[in-house]
Structure 1
Amino acid sequence: MRLLYTVMLITTVLGSCKKYLDEKPDQALSVPDNLDDLQMLLDDVRGINAGQTAPNSSSDEYYLKPADWEALYQFDKDAYVWDPETDAHNDWVTFYRNIFTANTVLENLQKVNREMDATRWDDLKGRALFIRGMCYFQLAQIFSPYYTGSENSVYGLPLRLTSDFNQPVSRSTLKETWDQLISDIQSSIPLLATTNQYKTQPSRWAANALLARIYLLMGNYQKAYDHSDSCLAISSALLNYNQLNASLEYPINRLNSEVIYHMATDVPVTSFYWIARVDPTLYDLFASGDLRKKMFFIDNGDGSYSFRGNYTGEYILFTGLAIDEIYLTRAEAAVRLNKITEALAGMNTLLKARWATGEFHESTITDPETLLKFILQERRKELMFRGLHWFDLRRLNTDPRFQQTLKRNINGQVYSLPPNAPRYVFLIPRKSVDFSNIPQNPR
């Protein structure tokens, strides 16, 4: 009952009030003080494994009919047209709530004798560190500018490393933010099990996958390659799409063999994906022998298609870590490191599992520039609607070869988002800015 009371408190203060970084909970209330209680906090799948929503809402992977756009919640309407006043309140609350939980676990583990169950104690610490690092990474992709590894004067995030709400809040530098989240994830690796029985729980496998993603976004291709290699050394088994049943509403199962760490968007925020239409230029990238064309899309009967290829087994969007992403990360890192043979071999392995038997012909591209463009196109196709395209837009817009201007058209009104626009960084919720007196993101 003591734990139940604690969980209810955290949910009430940080969930329904939604004012983390704004209000202080009652410091006298009880907290969990044993491994069972602490594990239950981390086992809250609906909360801890909630993924980001803003990067999907603002992506150019889909379009909406004007009437459907008008019917959206205000945030989704604003995010769709990249309104400069859009504030991603739900993502801010979700991830800082989970950071609070992770900090609570880390602090209260110190009150539990590790020698009573050292393996479990270490695992819980590793899980909490991974979760905190993952949350700061997600927040950085939404509320901070793109990071290359050296920005010391650009604002990052408010770094909460304690559950004590009395400590004042300020915005760290972008470098401090990334140093902290990388440190958390790296520190989790020796504490975690190599794999986990439940893919909703962190593991060394997941930590290496996350670091591979992070270093690719930073442009540190050697580390992205190394962590991808470490990840795939644990398991590199791909789904054979020839064995999927295209007649099912959602052909790809939840927690399938490719899933490394499960995360998914929250249901109420993503309900508009029932009416989202896949961007035609994206759909047209898939050839007839590519089984993803059958597994990923539903024909709406009006010349448009909806997406159904979620690794959740339902319409809720998958935003976690999976083996297919790591193949693509390693291939991109490899070609950028001039490891052409390795890059090509990885891509052929992945695509062979995606094409109909007898239809796939191995790529023989040897020109680095052509191969890089090929990998980036396959990355866009394979990782649709996972939030990763928004991350890729941010990083690739720093390279003139890959810059894009995004456009929407609603009843003749054209909205655009040019490369490196300040609107690639969402506003911090105004209540947090006002209460904590932290600087707002520029417009």
Structure 2
Amino acid sequence: MRKLIKNLKAMGFAAVAALTISCEGFLDEKPSKSILVPESVAEFEAILDNYDRLSNTAPLPFLYSDDYWTTEPNWLRFSPWQQRAYAWSMEPYLLEETPQDYFNLYRRIFMANVVLEKLDEGPDWKQEDIDRLRGRALFFRASGYFELAVLFLAHPAEGTASAPKIPLKSSSRFDRVDGWLDASQAFAMILADLTTALPLLPEKTALPTQPSRFGGYALMARIYLYLGDYGKAAESAEQVLEGGFELIDYAKLNMDLAFPVSGFNSEVVLFSFMGSQSMVTSNNAAFVDSLLVRDYDATDYRSKFLFRNTAGFHSFKGNYTGTPDIFSGIALDEVLLVLAEANVRLGQVDEGLVYLDRLLGKRIADYQPMESMEGEEALETVLDHRRKSLLFRGQRWMDLKRFSVLDSKRPLLQRKINGETVGFEAQPGNFRVMVPSSEIQ
């Protein structure tokens, strides 16, 4: 599929290669001025169509999550930074290692800034082209900073005095830092970028990797849910329902296939992926807790869709990518779960359960709508199905972080490494990854 997208959206000029070139550290110098500089609408459009750069999300949230476990022989084959992340080190990268997540997310921001700087020059282009490019660039910049904030910053509701900060980069200069953002400042900028982008984004796009207006509202819903602003999360998610996306009926899937659904299916609102981390995510390395697997009812098609038996363990197959790459985008099932949770938390329990019923009717055999229940029981039910539906979607770490702050739910996660039990206390202050020391230097 990735090859197909590249063929459909071939770059075809040296500028994009220059703008996306890998480097030892993010703050390296710009590429040589002798390299061709993009000038046309098509060239800047191609920068924002670079699927492998802009739709590739950070693996650390998955590595830290309790979605999976691995055996000790497998762990020994992990890369050093992967081993440290698996052991919940909040400083996974050594000085000599390239900080993959940090670099990739700032590269996304850099690419967006390149386009925005050109637009600020007032090029003699059609206004519709300017608007479309600006909307897409602002969307990608917002998404990059959002992922950085979830990893490296405190949750805004913590209100800590000595909060960590991340670099603000508002230009295409690799070597320029325009300030440092704490959580509240970062989210103010993220939401401002998205709010400006929404009316500029088209309702329909050629590919779901390209942000549409519905994709913008879906990301807004995810962000507001993380922040605990349930009213705005519900308002944003409701906008997505106008996009004509349809739930997949799991009863009609061929569960014997290696990947029962294709990447660009009817549920996908916005497509992104977490590229395969070799030994970490392969189905003979990433296993799902048997207790979680047994929690799925016998009539629940999700268990057949999500899991396969590998060497006596349960591994994961239910990607919405149609490949081994983990789907980290936003699909209609997540949007309905946002609506269910937000409404229940706002005291509109019956409305919330209607959205949950809509989802489960396509997931469970002979499903009957839920009976009315009290708010706390309804919330636990919704969160239980969120856990079961969004497994291996890259959302679990974000959920654990917001639960620890907003709900005071602070479980102890445990793994066995080299014969010793390693634990992680889901306390608010424990969720902040250190900004890589190589980048601070």
**Common fold by TM > 0.5:** yes
In structure 2, the partner of 1:99 is: 109
C-alpha contact 2:158 2:405 (8 A) present in aligned 1:
no
Distance 1:421 1:237, change over 3 A: same
- Do the aligned partners of residues 148 and 25 (structure 1) sit closer, same or farther apart at CA in structure 2, a change above 3 Å counting? farther
**Corresponding position of 2:437:** 430
More displaced, 26-35 or 391-400?
Answer: 26-35
- Find the counterpart in structure 2 of residue 58 from structure 1: 64
Paired position in structure 1 for 2:148: 139
User: 3-state SS of the aligned residue for 2:92?
Assistant: coil
Match of residue 307 from structure 1? 316
Shift of 1:281: 2.1
For 2:62, give the aligned amino acid. N
* Pair 1:190 & 2:199 matched: yes
- Equivalent position to 2:210, from 201, 214, 232: 201
State how many pairs are aligned. 427
Match of 2:181, SS state, is strand
The CA deviation string for residues 193-216 of structure 1, in whole angstroms up to 9 with x for no partner, is: 112221010111011000101011
Amino acid at match of 1:108: K
Aligned to 2:266: 257
Worse-matched range after superposition: 71-80 or 20-29: 20-29
Matched, 1:47 2:53: yes
| Alignment-derived partner of residue 439 in structure 1 | none
Which blocks of at least 5 consecutive residues in structure 2 are unaligned?
1-9
Post-superposition offset of 1:401: 5.4
Give, in whole Å, the separation in 1 of the partners of 2:17 and 2:192: 30
Equivalent position to 1:5, from 1, 14, 25: 14
Deviation sequence 1:259-281 (CA, Å, 0-9, x none): 11111112345754331111122
- Give yes or no for contact 2:29–2:175 (8 Å, CA) kept in 1: no
CA distance in 1, matches of 2:188, 2:199: 18
Change in CA separation of 1:84 and 1:156 when aligned onto 2, cut-off 3 Å? closer
**CA distance 1:62–1:167, shift in 2 (3 Å):** closer
- Give me the TM-score of the superposition, normalised by structure 2: 0.91
Residue in structure 1 matched with residue 291 of structure 2 by the alignment: 281
Residue deviations 1:348-394 (CA, integer Å, cap 9, x gap)? 010001112x2x22211420000000111111110011110100000
The answer as to whether partners of 2:276 and 2:325 remain within 8 angstroms in 1 is yes
Residue 410 of structure 1 deviates from its aligned partner by 2.5
State which of 171, 181, 185 in structure 2 corresponds to 1:172: 181
Match of 1:350 in 2: 359
Q: Contact 1:155–1:171 (CA<8 Å) still a contact in 2? A: no
Counterpart of 1:245 in 2: which secondary structure? coil
- State, as a whole percentage, how many aligned pairs show the same letter: 31
Q: 2:135 aligns with which of 113, 126, 138?
A: 126
Amino acid of the structure 2 residue aligned with 1:285: D
For 1:41 and 1:238, the matched residues in 2 are separated by 32
**Which is further off, 257-266 or 3-12?**
3-12
TM-score normalized by structure 1?
0.91
SS in 2 for 1:406: strand
1:291 corresponds to 2:280: no
Is residue 264–residue 319 contact of structure 1 (8 Å, CA) maintained in 2?
yes
SS at match of 1:260: strand
1:53–1:270 CA contact under 8 A, matched in 2? no
TM superposition shift of 1:24 = 4.5
1: CA distance, partners of 2:326 / 2:43: 30
Name the SS of the counterpart of 2:240 in structure 1. helix
> In 2 relative to 1, CA 149–418 (structure 1 residues): closer, same or farther, beyond 3 Å?
closer
Distance 1:36 1:292, change over 3 A: same
CA distance in 1, matches of 2:429, 2:243: 39
* CA distance 1:22–1:142, shift in 2 (3 Å): farther
Contact persistence 1:64–1:276 (CA under 8 A)? yes
CA shift, 1:301, in A, is 4.5
Q: How does 1:331-342 map onto structure 2 within 5 Å?
A: 331-342=340-351
Tell me if 1:74 matches 2:80. Answer: yes
1:161 alignment partner in structure 2:
170
Show CA shifts across 1:262-304 (max 9, x none): 11112345754331111122212211100011111101242x2
Query: What is the identity, as a one-letter code, of the residue corresponding to 1:38?
Result: F
Give the secondary structure class of the aligned counterpart of 1:416.
strand
Counterpart check, 1:110 vs 2:116:
no
Given the alignment, which residue of 305, 325, 333 partners 1:324? 333
Q: How many Å apart are 1:23 and its aligned residue?
A: 4.1
- Alpha-carbon distance change, 382 to 352 in structure 1, aligned in 2, over 3 angstroms: same
SS at match of 1:20: coil
Aligned partner of 1:405 among 412, 415, 429: 412
CA contact (8 A) 2:57 2:272 kept: yes
Q: Residues 30-73 of structure 1, C-alpha deviation per residue, up to 9 Å, x if partnerless? A: 42111000001111111111011001011111111111111111
Q: Which moved more, 1:30-39 or 1:79-88?
A: 79-88
Measured after TM superposition, the shift of residue 125 of structure 1 is 0.9
The alpha-carbon deviation at position 187 of structure 1 amounts to 0.8
Tell me the residue number matched to 1:414: 421
State which of 238, 245, 248 in structure 1 corresponds to 2:247.
238
2:369 to 362, 383, 406: 362
The letter of the residue matching 1:276 is: A
